[in-house]
Structure 1
Amino acid sequence: MEMVDDDGVYANVEELQSMKSTMQERNPSNSPDKQHSGIRIYRLTAVCLGLLTVLLLIIITAISIHYNGVLNNTTESYSTQSENLTQLYSALKDERDQTDQLHH
């Protein structure tokens, strides 16, 4: 409520200031506790992101090791199969040559 005289206006301003200070005491926006909890949240977030990064690196390393093992096994398998095919081809060629000599 505003009063026309200066005393009433100043009284209302003082009342508003006292209400404002009471509100700030109840819910301080820049209190040290709130700032400290904000820092904790950022630290917790940074630690979680760091742990996720380490976990991701471990998973990538494990997959790379597994992939290299599979690749080596596949290469050995192809090499063995290639040798077997070469031997079979050579054996068939020898048999063909022998049968050609018998017929002539």
Structure 2
Amino acid sequence: MAFRVAPENWHHTLEYLREREQQTMVYLETHRRIRLLDEDGTKVRAVTFVADQKHEQYAGALPLEDQLQIVKGAVGQSGANPEYVLNTHAHMKEMGIKDQNVEWLARQLSL
């Protein structure tokens, strides 16, 4: 998902994103060329926040069952993690993005 930011709002928006996404420094701020889902497949430069696989809070290598237990009991800045996972899954589904791990977690959280 990409958001276009007006030039006059760029610095304020970037500060906001850094404050929101970099609370624990689990994400790496990177600049990438991305392709938009427009008719032309336009490529633009974007700021992205990618999980740092070396960070102590990175959980991608944990077995799904362990991830599920963490999610069930965790609360983040934006609220309860089960709700976050379920919302993420719903938005990914709307956009046609499939991720077996997210789908499994969402199914387990919905039981």
Place the TM-score, normalised by the shorter chain, in its bin.
Answer: under 0.3
Q: Could you tell me the TM-score, scaled by structure 1's length?
A: 0.19
Identify, as 1 or 2, the structure richer in strand.
Answer: 2
What TM-score, normalized by structure 2, do the two folds share? 0.18
More helix per residue: 1
